[in-house]
Amino acid sequence: MSAEDFVGYVSQAIYLALFVMTTVRFVRRPGWASFDIFLFFAVIAVLLLAGDASDAFGLQDHPLLNILTWVGVSALPFILLRLVDDFRPQSAWVMGTATLTFVLVAAVGFVAPQPWGAASLIVVAFVAVLGLYASLGFLREARRSTGVTRRRMQAVAFGSVLLAVVLLLAGVRVILPDGAEWLELVTQLIGLGIVLSYYLGFAPPAALRRAWQEPTLRALLAEAPDLVQLPDARAVADRLEERAAAATGADGAAIGLWDQNAQQLVLRTADGERRIASGEFIGGRAFERQKLIFSTRAERDAPEHADEYRRSGIHAIAAAPISTDDRRLGVLVVYAARPPLFTDDVLSLIELIAEQAALVMHSQLLLREAAQVRALAEVTRLKDDFLSVVAHDVRTPLTAILLNAELLERGMERGDRNARRVVSLRAEALRLKELVEDYLDVVRSDQQRAQRRERHDLVSLVHEAVGGEAGANGRVRLTGDESIPGSFDGPRIQQLVQNLVSNALKYSEAEARVEVEVVAEREWAVLRVTDHGIGIPESDLGLLFERFHRGQNADDRRYGGLGLGLYICRQVAEEHGGSIGVTSRVGEGTTFTVRLARWSEAPAPAAADAVTEPTHSAPPAAPPDSAKADAAYAADAADAANPAAPAVADVPGEAAT
């Protein structure tokens, strides 16, 4: 096999492969641009197969094959010009002149006598002139484009120039049939250059496309820090709209930002602000479906807005959602009068810009939220500092008021009208003191989270805490395990129990019972406080453990308080690596469930669940043998002669004082 034959076979194989790839692409995504690319390589494939058939069967002078070759060669530069027009519309007179000239040149092949001889120079001149013009068109568009599109345009332009050169050499062979044998090898080599250029232009390998995309990627990444510093998402959108239009060679681009409150996409247009619903227009559909949508005929794919698309001259639209894993931020819409020539590259670039927009906008949101959190934390700190000082200062006059109220009460007769007023004064002053102490507890807990956990029997702590809350006639009943040893902050646990039990008594009828159950569940201790009182509305459960929140059905005149008790309970539970939850029915009662880590030295706080039974975090790490820890504690307790509380105790009413 000669070098000429080898080069020819390689070129033919690549051309046929390109024909197959462009055919598949046209079937997958039909459109005028993909059709013209398919037609270009279909003509080349037909010419190659016709040449092989004529050589194999000795049909070099067959009239039909000659006419087919004449028309096919004449069609190639005309199709190239159509491709230029697909990417950037050419003037009507250029396209009209090219079409008429192609028809006339093709007609010459039918009417001129064969063999044509010098008449072949007509097709050679036509192909050379039109091919060079198309090449210049590709070069002009390459300068306007960026990234992969620019490189592909340059490759196609170079291949088109080589095609014109080959046809000029063919004309030379017609004029100088003798002594031009050297032109055969030169023609074959240039032909290989043509096929490689078209391969790089129309079907480049993925690795090469990624390499071509790198400058665009680097430019977008380099600009990201500056974009994050812009004042808001609208400023980012305006900047990226310009980048999207320039990078894709489209007529324009728009970014719609999602307004969560209005449930609409907000776009900025020449006429002002435009709002569209999710699912409306092609951009709204892309946002709703959260995937890229490409339409070559917008008026067909969105017929309800066809008139608007026609008036604006927009026919090709690509829309990509701007979203992160957990947030929908908007949609990027790129539009043009005609579909892009290299659709896959343009669509991948649009998706890339949409991802960049999502990253920048999400970063802006996080920075803004972080700033708000810092500002809120500072405001909260200043408020707590101020109120803490006020609360401390209020305690001194309150103590004097209480002392003098008690002295006045003792010095007055019981039936005296003023004596009743003094009793009321003392009760309200005592109530105010309790509110001040509750608030100071919250401030101390927020500012000093140091743990004072020591070995205690939880049942004993609970028994001591409820002893002072028995109220009228032993209303509190303690049940559960006899002893639950563990590592607890004794005063804080008792504060938690007292808050829960006092709430249960306060929001129940005078004769209603309150059940307190304490049980051990492996590394956990579970405390349940159940009342049969007024219950809590479901709408309040989500905020029940927040500061200063009280149920809607809690009458301030009947049930006093600041709404801090349950917030303190949640803090105590989290300090012990546990959680607190609540279940309630209005008019039937409420059950609070507290889970505490028994032996954790460094518990991880668990979030409270105020709607259903608490969702527990993973149990804190227990000692290697929890039973040994319990046994060791029991031995220490025995040595100290400190017996555990009884398993079931009706708290006596006399203990209420």
The CATH number of the domain holding residue 503 is 3.30.565.10
In terms of domains, do 225 and 246 share one?
yes
Instruction: Tell whether 648 is covered by a domain.
Output: yes
Instruction: Tell whether 157 is covered by a domain.
Output: yes
Prior bond of 340 cis (ω within 30°): no
In terms of domains, do 315 and 389 share one?
no
Instruction: Tell whether 320 is covered by a domain.
Output: yes
Residue 88: both structure tokens together: 């950037």
Three-state DSSP class for residue 161: helix
How many domains does the chain fold into?
Answer: 4
Instruction: Tell whether 444 is covered by a domain.
Output: no
In terms of domains, do 169 and 102 share one?
yes
* Spatial contact of 274 and 257, defined as CB atoms under 8 Å apart: no
Q: Identify which of 212, 251, 229, 227 has the alpha carbon closest to the alpha carbon of residue 322.
A: 227
Instruction: Tell whether 234 is covered by a domain.
Output: yes
Cβ burial, residue 93 (10 Å; 0-12/13-18/19+): exposed
Q: 524: domain range?
A: 449-656
CB burial readout 513-538, b (16+ within 10 A) else e:
bbbbbbebeebbbbbbbbbbbbbbee
In terms of domains, do 46 and 188 share one?
yes
pLDDT of residue 186: 78
In terms of domains, do 459 and 562 share one?
yes
In terms of domains, do 122 and 197 share one?
yes
pLDDT of residue 552: 57
In terms of domains, do 378 and 362 share one?
no
Residue ending a domain, choose from 348, 366, 384 = 366
Quote the pTM value.
Answer: 0.52
Taking CA atoms, 453 is separated from 286, 547, 608, 636, in Å, by: 56, 25, 21, 16
The CATH number of the domain holding residue 91 is 1.20.1070
* Helix H or strand E segment including 326: none
The phi, psi pair for 325, rounded to 5°, reads -65, -30
Residue ending a domain, choose from 204, 234, 253 = 204
In terms of domains, do 410 and 350 share one?
no
pLDDT block averages, 10 residues each, the chain of length 657: 69 84 85 85 86 72 80 88 84 90 87 69 82 87 77 87 79 61 74 86 82 77 81 87 81 90 88 87 93 89 88 89 90 86 79 89 85 80 66 71 80 74 79 71 57 84 75 74 90 87 84 90 92 86 75 53 77 90 90 89 42 37 45 45 36 30
Between CA 507 and CA 255 the distance in angstroms is 55
In terms of domains, do 479 and 547 share one?
yes
Residue 600: both structure tokens together: 């954790």
Instruction: Tell whether 209 is covered by a domain.
Output: no
Strands (E), 324-435: 328-336
Between CA 248 and CA 546 the distance in angstroms is 52
Sheet harboring 514-521: ordered strands across? 579-585, 589-597, 524-531, 514-521, 476-480, 649-650
In terms of domains, do 350 and 313 share one?
yes
Instruction: Tell whether 31 is covered by a domain.
Output: yes
In terms of domains, do 423 and 455 share one?
no
Residues 6+ apart with CB under 8 A from 643: 637
Three-state DSSP class for residue 117: helix
Instruction: Tell whether 141 is covered by a domain.
Output: yes
Residue ending a domain, choose from 179, 204, 229 = 204
Residues 6+ apart with CB under 8 A from 289: 321
In terms of domains, do 496 and 407 share one?
no
pLDDT of residue 438: 67
The CATH number of the domain holding residue 234 is 3.30.450.40
